[in-house]
Amino acid sequence: MSFNQSVLLPVSPDEAFALVTEPERIRRWLAVSAYIDLRAGGDFRWTVATGNHAAGTVREVEPGRRLVLAFGWDEDEALPPGSSTVTIVIEPAPDGSQVTLTHKGLNEEQTKQHTEGWEHYLERLQKVATAGEAGPDEFARVPQDLNPVTATESVLSAVQPVLRLLGPEDRPKPTPCEDFDANDLFHHLMGSLVQLGALAGGTVVPTERGTVEDQISLTAGQAIDAWRAVDLDGTLPGPDGGEIPAADLAGLLPVELALHGWDFAQTCGVELDISNEVVAYLRTLAQGIDPVGRENGSFKAAVTAPEGASAIGQLAAFAGRTPMHAP
């Protein structure tokens, strides 16, 4: 069985091809993080929604016209990486392009599941092609299995639209962190991602090219990959030579990313849209970090959240942050 659907995009075929092949554009409509070696035989790996990792190889590439992928899922024994075929064909159309996606090699249940998914993401592709942004992805808001790693993926998905608002002209702007302007905060977060990835035994190499969203997304993706390889039910060496539950250390990553995402949202004058369920989980993680977090300066003394504050705004108040704008 197979899925087949076409959508019309108000962009040229070359631009449509870029939207389905360039990682920074894929992140706008399909994936939290994306890697693709765009050549026949090259690998690809996408974190689609949260906790779901599509992977496989590129079979065919015709720039501006056609992409064929051997497609599957890391966590799915019934449809492992490379076990099905996704073909994307791009054709000129009046006022734009027609993009046709076909997914073959599925059984009946898989076809049903992938139909729901592809229809959702093709609609988001149309929104990106039309407006430049698709908005928060409902499929990424609340992971099916909420843990520090999937929570980080969900937070990253919510933070990315905010990061895309930050241009070079925003670097000197203030943030809720009194000692940091936006440029300082960017470098601080990049350093934190490197350190938090190292706690998992990974080597995170900061990405130094591209936009703020490019650099933070790609660097955070490395940290997430490092933690994905860790047994969260086990322990890891602590700074004092003892053992610390791995889940406790992993919990630092989504809290750090969420709070600084909120900081950047305040700088941009927008709301950070993280689901209440995920924020409630982050609050539990943050309470585990406290009081050590206040001793080392990560958190300041808690403040009272303004009336009407969102869940993430209340978490920011718990961490000692005062909003720059009314909720």
Please state, in angstroms and rounded to a whole number, the distance separating the CA atoms of residues 16 and 135.
19
Please state, in angstroms and rounded to a whole number, the distance separating the CA atoms of residues 257 and 324.
19
Select from 15, 172, 223, 196 the least CA-distant residue to 99. 15
* Phi and psi at residue 52, to the nearest 5°: -125, 120
- First CA to last CA distance, the chain: 49
* 157: three-class secondary structure by DSSP: helix
Please state, in angstroms and rounded to a whole number, the distance separating the CA atoms of residues 126 and 129.
5
pLDDT at 1: 83
Please state, in angstroms and rounded to a whole number, the distance separating the CA atoms of residues 229 and 208.
25
Contact between 288 and 302 under an 8 Å Cβ cutoff? The reply is no
Q: Band of the pLDDT at 257, cuts 50, 70, 90?
A: very high
pLDDT at 192: 96
User: Long-range pairs for 190-195 at CB < 8 Å and ≥24 separation?
Assistant: 190/215, 190/216, 190/219, 192/256, 192/260, 193/219, 193/220, 193/222, 193/223, 193/253, 193/256, 193/257, 194/219, 194/223
**272-294 pLDDT, tens per residue?**
999 999 999 999 999 887 666 55
Please state, in angstroms and rounded to a whole number, the distance separating the CA atoms of residues 270 and 162.
8
Q: Domains plus CATH for the chain?
A: 2-131 (3.30.530.20), 139-318 (1.20.120.450)
Please state, in angstroms and rounded to a whole number, the distance separating the CA atoms of residues 49 and 65.
26
Least confident segment among 88-92, 105-109, 140-144 = 140-144
Please state, in angstroms and rounded to a whole number, the distance separating the CA atoms of residues 138 and 238.
37
Q: In 10 A of CB 89, how many CB atoms?
A: 15
Q: When comparing pLDDT for 189 and 144, which is higher?
A: 189
As a whole number, the mean pLDDT across the chain is 94
pTM above 0.75, yes or no: yes
* Contact partners, residue 143, CB within 8 Å, separation at least 6: 49, 50, 51, 150, 151, 153, 154, 278
pLDDT at 294: 55
pLDDT at 327: 60
pLDDT at 144 over 90: no
Produce one character per residue of 220-233: b if its CB has 16 or more CB atoms within 10 Å, e if not: bbbbbbbbbebebe
**90-106 pLDDT, tens per residue?**
999 999 999 999 999 99
297 token code pair: 């300066």
- Per DSSP bridges, beta strands 96-104 and 235-237 are unpaired
**211-231 pLDDT, tens per residue?**
999 999 999 999 999 999 999
